[in-house]
Amino acid sequence: MDHGFAMVDVFHNGPFTGNPLAVVFGGEALDTMAMQAITRWFNLSETAFLLPPTVPGADYRVRIFTLDRELPFAGHPTLGACHAWLAAGGVPAGGDTIVQQCGLGEVPIRRTGELLAFAAPPRLRTGPVAAETRAEVAALLRLDPAAIVDCVWADNGPGWIAVLLDSAEAVLAVDPVRYHAERIEIGLVGPHPQGGAVDWEIRTLFSDAFGGIVEDPITGSFNAAVAQWLFETGRVTHGYVAAQGTAIGRDGRVRVEFEADTGQAWIGGRTLTIAEGSLPALAAGS
């Protein structure tokens, strides 16, 4: 069986400016070990595998892998997998609302023109981090602890710690260490001056399987968790646009909207198929 795949640019602001994602079709014919091996071969931050849904009401199912593990949820794979499913002829039962099944449950996705947006899922862990962890974060970021405005858990699958700085300029100036022995996932956020095209600057840093510190181009899961936190703390009261990837030569854009009656955050962006192909070697069982 040949497995088609698509390379999708997610949260882009023009081709090759967002976060690339490999989406592999026919995931029901692959076991976990094969999915992990394919993910390592693509060598992207995540690879998504499309499967038929197993729960009523879902349009499709997705399994999401990093280079060393499976995630219950991630943001740019959610929008990228939805884009690939729609581009391959998928027809959602709910019209312009698509329902994705993943390890975290069912995630609604809205389609509005060229934008896709997912409903930010509930966080698994919130609240301030312990003093010891805050000190660890400051050391990893090579920051004076006094420069950190706030530091909380923002865990919605990946175990993000959200770090608020006083400006976008301060976020972009962070020069983290290159190695951290323990697994850690940190998201930085700082405001841009009012009145500009972009409201917030985001960066996300995480340790890989070997302890190296990696910066992700654009991270939907962290943007979802931080949007919920900013709204709950009154730091935002309406939708906004966040930039991410600036520090590593990308130009990502994340568009956040809130429902007026519930405060539900929707995390949106543009998606684009960059390339398509197949993995014929799998047909030979290799």
Each residue's pLDDT tens digit, 200-241: 999 999 998 789 999 999 999 999 999 999 999 999 999 999
CB contact at 8 A, 201 and 170: no
Q: How far apart are CA 259 and CA 127, in angstroms?
A: 23
What percent of the chain shows pLDDT beyond 70?
97
Q: Which residues contact 234 (CB under 8 A, 6 or more apart)?
A: none
The 3-state secondary structure of the chain reads: CCCEEEEEEECCCCCCCCEEEEEECCHHHCCHHHHHHHHHHHCCCCEEEEECCCCCCCCEEEEEECCCCEECCCHHHHHHHHHHHHHCCCCCCECCEEEEEECCEEEEEEEECCEEEEECCCCCECCECCHHHHHHHHHHHCCCHHHCCEEEECECCCCEEEEECCCHHHHHHCCCCCECCCCCEEEEEEECCCCCCCCEEEEEEEECCCCEEEEECCCHHHHHHHHHHHHHCCCCCCCEEEEECHHHCCCEEEEEEECCCCCCEEEEEEEEEEEEEECHHHHHCC
Q: Using pLDDT thresholds of 50, 70 and 90, give the confidence band for residue 94.
A: confident
Average pLDDT over residues 78-83: 98
Model pLDDT, residue 1: 58
CB contact at 8 A, 272 and 12: yes
Model pLDDT, residue 286: 46
CA torsion through residues 168, 80, 179, 140, sign? positive
Express each pLDDT in 123-173 by its tens digit.
999 999 999 999 999 999 999 999 999 999 999 988 999 999 999 999 999
Within 13 A of 25's CA, how many CA atoms are on the CB side? 20
Q: How far apart are CA 53 and CA 90, in angstroms?
A: 12
CB contact at 8 A, 13 and 270: yes
Model pLDDT, residue 282: 61
Q: Two tokens at 276?
A: 């398509």
Average pLDDT over residues 21-38: 96
Model pLDDT, residue 84: 98
CB contact at 8 A, 82 and 68: no
pTM: 0.93
CB contact at 8 A, 134 and 278: no
Query: In one letter, which amino acid is 85?
Result: W
Model pLDDT, residue 157: 84
Cα first-last separation, the chain: 11
Q: Two tokens at 66?
A: 């990093």
